[in-house]
Amino acid sequence: MSFSITEPSNRQKWIAGVLVIAYALITLMPLAWIIATGFKTPADAIAYPPKVIFEPSVEGYVNLFTSRSRVTPEDLAALPPPETFYDEIVRQYDMVITGPSKYGERFLNSIIIGFGSTFLSVFLGTIAAYAFSRFKVPLKDDLLFFILSTRMMPPIAVAIPIFLMYRQLGLSDTHLGMILLYTAVNLSLSVWLLKGFIDEIPIEYEEAALIDGYTRFQAFYKVVLPQAATGIASTAIFCLIFAWNEYAFAVLLTSGTAQTAPPFIPTIIGAGGKDWPAVAAGATLFLVPIMVFTILLRKHLLRGITFGAVRK
């Protein structure tokens, strides 16, 4: 597969390389700053002028994962010597660790809700897209347009009705409620993306499987699904990115049991308003799962973004 008519010259390659690196540096800057801030002390984090060179500290991460309370210097002196490095860090500030913070729970909620709704969106999307692609569905075009039309306004526009409905149905602040909500938002994207991919799979493969003695479902499962793997993977990434990063609904509909990490992270900053390293640490860790997921599926993602543009 070649996109250029002529091979680019070395100089052109050089210029392209420099541009790409410059662009990468600009976009990675905020990310690098967040990661760096996670390893600063609270004092370094708000220092002016900003510190580019600093002595790394894990204080942010300790604060992120712990709840602490202040004690008098006398009480602190009366305590037995600190057993661990994090005890030691906390005691510098006349504080003791009283227990774990809620970050772990919120992070787990994000994983359950993010991956749960992604799985559901892709599962339902694949089945629906297959049906739209292969069967005579009455009013097919109208249905497809209707499905797409659910994305024509920002989802948050229906926040109030959903808030009221969820309260009535007892879905507020539940995992199920958030999974259903994100699935509903993602499903239209998922159906449309996957229909495009399934349309590209020649129907003869399934017919060959039917002739070879397989049932329609077996043909779908054994022949269509492996062919659609690329589409499914890239759709899954798009769905996960949305569900993972969603903030507005999470603020509105969750407060405790089912609260995800995005609305929780800003609350870490605490009463003093100085704990930027903990916030940065929370944000850094929050990036990790989606980065891993995307890197694992990156080949599919590239093909997913350009799908339809290049015929195999």
Partner 1 sequence: MAQIIIKNLRKEFGAFTAVQSSSFTVEDGEFFMLLGPSGCGKTTTLRMIAGLELPTSGEIYIDGAEVSQKPASQRDIAFVFQMFALYPHMNVRKNISYPLVSQGMPRAQVRAKVSEVAEILGITALLDKPVSGLSGGDRQRVALGRAIVRDPSCFLMDEPLGALDAEFREHMALELRALHDRMGATTVYVTHDQLEAMQMGDKIVVMNHGIVEQFGKPQDIYDWPATTFVAKFIGSPAMNLLEFNDVAGNGATSVRLNDAAIDVPEILSGTNGKLTFGVRPEHVHLDDAAPYRGRIIASEYLGTTQIITFDTPLGAVKARIKADVAVRIGEVTGLRFDSRSISLFAPNGHALLSKANQKVLSHG
Q: Give the interface with partner 1 as residue ranges (CB under 8 A).
A: 202, 204-205, 207-216, 218, 223, 226-227
Which pair of structure tokens corresponds to residue 262?
């995005």
Report the residue number, 206 or 246, with the smaller CB distance to partner 1.
Answer: 206
Kindly state the smallest distance separating residue 199's Cβ from partner 1, in Å: 16
- Measured CA to CA, the distance from residue 312 to residue 120 in angstroms comes to 29
- Measured CA to CA, the distance from residue 99 to residue 97 in angstroms comes to 6
Which pair of structure tokens corresponds to residue 249?
């609904």
Report the residue number, 211 or 296, with the smaller CB distance to partner 1.
Answer: 211
Report the residue number, 112 or 210, with the smaller CB distance to partner 1.
Answer: 210
Q: In 83-136, which residue ranges form alpha helices assigned H by DSSP?
A: 85-91, 103-134
Cα–Cα–Cα angle for 284, 248, 271, nearest 5°?
A: 60
CA distances to 103, 213, 223 from 125, in Å: 32, 27, 17
Report the residue number, 71 or 225, with the smaller CB distance to partner 1.
Answer: 225
- Identify the bridge partners of residue 100 per DSSP, sorted by sequence position: 66
Report the residue number, 75 or 212, with the smaller CB distance to partner 1.
Answer: 212
- Identify the bridge partners of residue 70 per DSSP, sorted by sequence position: 95
Kindly state the smallest distance separating residue 232's Cβ from partner 1, in Å: 14
Kindly state the smallest distance separating residue 213's Cβ from partner 1, in Å: 4
- Measured CA to CA, the distance from residue 115 to residue 113 in angstroms comes to 6
Report the residue number, 142 or 212, with the smaller CB distance to partner 1.
Answer: 212
Report the residue number, 211 or 305, with the smaller CB distance to partner 1.
Answer: 211
- Measured CA to CA, the distance from residue 91 to residue 200 in angstroms comes to 63
220: Cα separation from own chain's centroid:
29
DSSP states of 248-300: HHHHHH-SSTT--HHHHGGGGGTTTT--HHHHHHHHHHHHHHHHHHHHHTHHH
158: Cα separation from own chain's centroid:
22
Q: Are the CB atoms for 103 and 171 separated by under 8 Å?
A: no
Kindly state the smallest distance separating residue 224's Cβ from partner 1, in Å: 11
Q: Are the CB atoms for 179 and 113 separated by under 8 Å?
A: yes
| CA proximity to 145, closest of 188, 190, 184, 182 | 188
Report the residue number, 150 or 218, with the smaller CB distance to partner 1.
Answer: 218
